[in-house]
Amino acid sequence: MDHFAYRSGELYCEDVPVARIVESVGTPAYIYSSATLLHHYDAVATAFAALRPIICYSIKSCPNLHICRLLKDRGAGFDVVSGGELLRALRASGDPAKIVFAGVGKTDDEINLALDSKIGWFNIESEAELANLIEIAGRRGVVARAALRVNPDVDPKTHRYTSTGKKESKFGVDLERARRVFQEYGRHGSVRLCGIHLHIGSPVNTVEPYVSAIRKTLTLIDELRSDGFAIDTLDIGGGFGAHYKSSEAPPAVAYAEAIVPLLTDRVGGANPLSIIMEPGRSIAANAGILVARTLYLKKSGERDFLIVDAGMNDLIRPALYEAYHFVWPVRPATGFVPAERGESTTTMPGCLPMDVVGPVCESGDFLAKDRMLPPMQRGDLVAVFTAGAYGMAMASHYNSRPNPPEVLVEGGAFRVIRRREGYEEMMAGESVT
Ligand code: LLP
């Protein structure tokens, strides 16, 4: 579900024509719908309400401060993986007690910053990291709260680069090792190891891997408790899907229907577990588009290329994961206004096969490959959909291309929430002497 729709032949974000926004901010540009962000946040909150979870928005998916603030005002905590993300969470007025800090390579500076900020939990990825945290917290005379990330060895059936729950993954420790970690480090004064963290992959478009991972983890929690460890938190991570091609992602209620019954008995009673969730993509992905302008059309061999002014530096997902993003003109030629948006639209009669490519000097610089599109002309705007998560978040300066602006639409109004970067700004940290 999102608030991007074609009305009278052109694409709108909520009540604002996308073309009007780019008249003002230029291209390429990221445009987000605030109603869509909030809708998806609320969908998770409502579906999982029985568990009273702390929903820690995963900042890495779409880190804009304004968006963090919007979600914080709705009740979100934050999942952070670096000092930079932690500062974003705090600058968005995030409640430190609702911040979880994950990541396999936390530096001492980052750990100190997190201790200074009194965050809720450190999500621990290895024994060595835990030993280091124990040392730093001990030296400072403070007590940190931590959850051990376990790797339940389930296959989330997602891209190999974003699959994290298998035994061979660099994240977390396997279930056997987890028990040993508790035996060795679970009774230290300076770190209260009181939680288990899971994150099996992203996107996970089926519910079974969650069910299997949570079942295995609950068995571990029972074992740890019977060994005398006070486990009071289970963080089930993120990974819920989003609609890229059509409606392939289960809605939040479908995940909840499978997950909530496993945990309802655990959140009450004498030994209650606090549940943490870390959604990112499922909140932000469908809430954002990347808009680009057609620079040139060209033919090479038998292939037609649509060359646009957004490239892999603006949206790297197609290049990195061969990810599919639906692409369609903002003002399609007459007869090509989609009744329903999504991959099926590309079968409309009169569409032509094209590669939508950017200006970056790499063959991997494409936004869509061999895609059926309506006839296009120089100057035409195209929207790249489902770009709200891991879009701007992964943008780079490759080819010395400044970062695009980010715009947030709220009903009939829009505002720039990150200005277009200028050349001077891009080079500001460098010197010629
Ligand atoms: N928690 C942890 C520990 C994570 O590593 C991640 C994502 C999340 C939560 C949020 O997952 P989400 O709900 O967004 O699926 N760049 C890739 C995705 C990488 C995900 C990394 N970790 C992409 O563009 O598909």
Quick one: tokens of 334?
Answer: 């007459």
- Closest atom of ligand 1 to 149 CA is 3
At 160 the pLDDT is 76
Mutate which of 281, 320, 396 for ligand 1? The one with the most ligand atoms within 8 Å of its CB, which is 281
Residue 155 above 90 pLDDT? Answer: no
- Closest atom of ligand 1 to 320 CA is 24
Q: Is the CB of 132 under 6 A from ligand 1?
A: no
Q: Is the CB of 239 under 6 A from ligand 1?
A: yes
User: Taking all residues of the chain, what is their mean pLDDT, rounded to a whole number?
Assistant: 96
Q: Report the range of poorest mean pLDDT among 73-77, 153-157, 387-391.
A: 153-157
Among 13, 56, 62, 361, the one annotated catalytic:
361
Mutate which of 37, 41, 61 for ligand 1? The one with the most ligand atoms within 8 Å of its CB, which is 61
Residue 393's pLDDT band, with cuts at 50, 70 and 90, is very high
Tell me how far the alpha carbon of residue 99 lies from the centroid of ligand 1, in angstroms.
16
Tell me how far the alpha carbon of residue 258 lies from the centroid of ligand 1, in angstroms.
21
Residue 169 above 80 pLDDT? Answer: no
Q: Is the CB of 217 under 6 A from ligand 1?
A: no
Q: Is the CB of 163 under 6 A from ligand 1?
A: no
Q: What is the mean pLDDT of residues 274-295?
A: 98
At 292 the pLDDT is 99
At 190 the pLDDT is 96
At 340 the pLDDT is 87
Structure confidence by residue, pLDDT tens digits, 250-259: 999 999 999 9
- Closest atom of ligand 1 to 103 CA is 3
At 385 the pLDDT is 98
Q: Is the CB of 282 under 6 A from ligand 1?
A: yes
At 170 the pLDDT is 75
- Closest atom of ligand 1 to 279 CA is 13
Structure confidence by residue, pLDDT tens digits, 330-384: 999 999 999 889 999 999 999 999 999 999 999 999 999 999 999 999 999 999 9
Residue with the larger pLDDT of the pair 103 and 161: 103
Residue 166's pLDDT band, with cuts at 50, 70 and 90, is low
Q: 237 — alpha (psi -120 to 50), left (phi > 0) or beta?
A: left
At 165 the pLDDT is 63
Q: Is the CB of 41 under 6 A from ligand 1?
A: no
361 is catalytic: yes
**Whether this model's pTM surpasses 0.85:** yes
Quick one: tokens of 63?
Answer: 């880190």
At 349 the pLDDT is 94
Residue 403 above 90 pLDDT? Answer: yes
Percentage of the chain modeled with pLDDT above 70:
98
From the centroid of its chain, how far is CA 373?
A: 28
Q: How far is CA 147 from CA 27, 43, 152, in A?
A: 43, 26, 15
Mutate which of 202, 317, 386 for ligand 1? The one with the most ligand atoms within 8 Å of its CB, which is 202
Nearest to 100 by CA among 149, 173, 39: 149
Tell me how far the alpha carbon of residue 23 lies from the centroid of ligand 1, in angstroms.
33
Tell me how far the alpha carbon of residue 60 lies from the centroid of ligand 1, in angstroms.
7
Q: Is the CB of 273 under 6 A from ligand 1?
A: no
Q: Is the CB of 203 under 6 A from ligand 1?
A: yes
Structure confidence by residue, pLDDT tens digits, 70-111: 999 999 999 999 999 999 999 999 999 999 999 999 999 999
Q: What is the mean pLDDT of residues 35-49?
A: 98
